[in-house]
Amino acid sequence: MRVLGIETSCDETGVAIYDETTGLLANQLYSQVELHADYGGVVPELASRDHVRKLLPLIDAALQEANLTHNDIDAVAYTAGPGLVGALMVGATVGRSLAFAWNVPAVTVHHMEGHLLAPMLEDTPPSFPFVALLVSGGHTQLISVTAIGEYQLLGESIDDAAGEAFDKTAKLLGLDYPGGPRLAKMAATGTVGRFTFPRPMTDRPGLDFSFSGLKTFAANTIRANASDEQTHADIARAFEEAVVDTLLIKCKRALQQTGFKNLVIAGGVSANQNLREKLSAMMTGRGGEVFYARPAFCTDNGAMIAYAGMVRLKAGCTTDTRITVRPRWPLSELTPI
């Protein structure tokens, strides 16, 4: 069985083909970074129009990469939410139309479930149960995962998510969009300990996150100090250390609360090397294991949608001919399988 997956929730157009027997057959991705860079962030209308331009050529490219035709596709999966409504509508309209034209089932996929399951694409996937830290775009969530579709929200960001805080602080430091990866690169040259940032909401019980104040603290620190390159690098390092330590502390609490041994981290921020190293060290000390997707599957991509679509398809989760997207869609509303 082969599933074609389509991802258009924000500013990446992703198309992939997954075979339940042989694994990933094709993975095509187009990033809109250059399109949005002049604006310092994603412009929803421009994102939607670019998905329209790029999606069909990427589908053709994926079929060619896998040496297949549409007759070899058994289902079409597409991201139905959460995300930008216009961008979601592009993928949903094309995906549902192709499924109708090819006379195959269509499967709607939750974007965050796609991220959560991305580590399953690796040679050594995690086993259930595990705690999942999802740090993607506007989401920072800790989730108890006992099976696919059995998700319990343990904690989430009450204001800015970690990724948003990275991007906003990067902008304060004069870095171009996308700011998160650029800030991490700058932080690598920073001096540890020159500046000390707070670890928000770690001095009280609970598993929720708040990074808005950390961004404000960064803004005040930037204003109060010289604007030379090394100072900015030192501030970036202090900021990154604060975010990483906060995520680390909350993950440890979640593992203690659930008693689980395994930790999964997924989403764009999971590619941060400092975060990976500290979580790996923490899990080794606890006698557990941490699982990641490869860097190419941390950001939005079609492979995670194709895989999640395959899992949902095998459980009988198909959709009718209506085209419906959900810009806001709690993960807890998904059907267990």
Residue 286 one-letter amino acid: R
Cα separation of 336 and 84, whole Å? 25
Phi, psi angle pair for 108, to nearest 5°:
-85, 140
Determine the residue type at 177: Y
Containing H/E element for 268? Answer: none
Say if CB 211 and CB 242 are below 8 A apart.
Answer: no
**Is 167 assigned to a binding site?**
yes
Q: How far from 192 is each of 28, 71, 188, 229, 242, CA to CA, in Å?
A: 39, 57, 10, 15, 11
Residue the block writes with tokens 């679509």: 309
Backbone φ and ψ for 140, nearest 5 degrees, come out as -135, 110
What is the spatial distance between Cα 234 and Cα 238, in angstroms, rounded to a whole number?
Answer: 6
Judge whether 41 is annotated as a binding position. Answer: no
Separation CA 301–CA 7 (nearest Å): 6
Task: Look at strands 2-7 and 75-81 and give their pairing.
Answer: parallel
Q: How far apart are the C-alpha atoms of 142 and 131, rounded to whole Å? A: 7
74 touches 3 (CB < 8 A): yes
137 is in an annotated binding site: yes
160 assigned to a ligand binding site? no
Q: Is 290 annotated as a binding residue?
A: no
135 annotated among ligand-binding-site residues: yes
At 193, which amino acid appears? Answer: G
Cis peptide before 129 (omega within 30 of 0): yes
176 is in an annotated binding site: no
Report whether 309 belongs to an annotated binding site: no
By the 8 A CB rule, do 28 and 19 touch? no
269: three-class secondary structure by DSSP: helix
- Write out 145-184 in H/E/C secondary structure: EEECCEEEEEEEECCCCHHHHHHHHHHHCCCCCCHHHHHH
Q: Binding site annotation covers 138?
A: yes
Binding residues are 111, 115, 134-138, 167, 180, 272, 300
Binding residues for substrate are 134-138, 167, 180, 272
Binding residues for Fe cation are 111, 115, 300
